[in-house]
Structure 1
Amino acid sequence: MSTHHHYGDNVNMYGGTGNTGMIKNQGAATPASPELEAAVRELLALLGELRARIPAASARALDESLPALTADAAAPAQERHRALLAVAGIAATIGAVGQPVLEAVNRVLALIGP
């Protein structure tokens, strides 16, 4: 007697053409918590204020990070984390002016977890 244990997806394809993959209908993504949404809104507002006070090169780097700064649960976690660290780095290099942004980044990081 043999025992088989299977975990995860199982796909069997017999012939055919144009097979392109699986469609996984696993339901809608879990919405972000109201706390995370508020923290991201606050961070974005602070970044809007900060942008006018930093050098052009730093402002461009900030602009490149903005699309990933979202509370959307479907956002790629690694991309969002990288963007938060980039923003924190910019805020840290400009001293006291960047402190509120640095604190806001830390709040968002705490809410999204590791």
Structure 2
Amino acid sequence: MSEGTGHHYGSNVHGGDNVNIYGGSHINGIVKHQAPAPGLTEALARLEQLVGELRAQVEPGSARVLDSSLPAITSDATAPATRRDALVAVATIAATVGALGQPVVDAVTQVLALLGIG
């Protein structure tokens, strides 16, 4: 490296995964097993409880949306975009019932923040 120029000669700056695959078959790519964010398990359990309470206060169509959204929200296998969509659907329904739904909206906001997909 030449002093004062900020150039790096012959070095690589790398952040993240680097995978080189040469030939082969049945390649699965990178499999990562990451622990949930601290507090996520508790936040999801609280959200699930609140949604259960809210379910009894909304119309049948909204209750069905809540029911179909919960598995996507609570499963670690759900793609982030799908999980976010399900969380937004729940928050939207909660917002329609006013003050009664505010704890659900707050819980969704917390889960989105913990997931980093808000």
Q: TM-score range by the shorter chain?
A: 0.7 to 0.9
| Residue in 1 that maps onto 2:82 | 79
Q: What's the CA shift for 1:71?
A: 6.2
In structure 2, list runs of 5 or more residues that go unmatched: 1-17
Picking from 55, 58, 68, the partner of 2:59 is 55
Offset at 1:70? 1.7
TM-score between both structures, scaled by the size of structure 2 = 0.75
> Match of 1:107?
110
- Shift of the 9–70 alpha-carbon distance from structure 1 to 2, 3 Å rule, reads farther
1:37 aligns with 2:23: no
- Deviation sequence 1:23-66 (CA, Å, 0-9, x none): 3464x511113401100000000001110110001001111111
Q: Unmatched 5+ residue regions in structure 1?
A: 1-6, 14-18
Name the count of aligned residue pairs. 101
**Percent same amino acid among aligned pairs?**
45
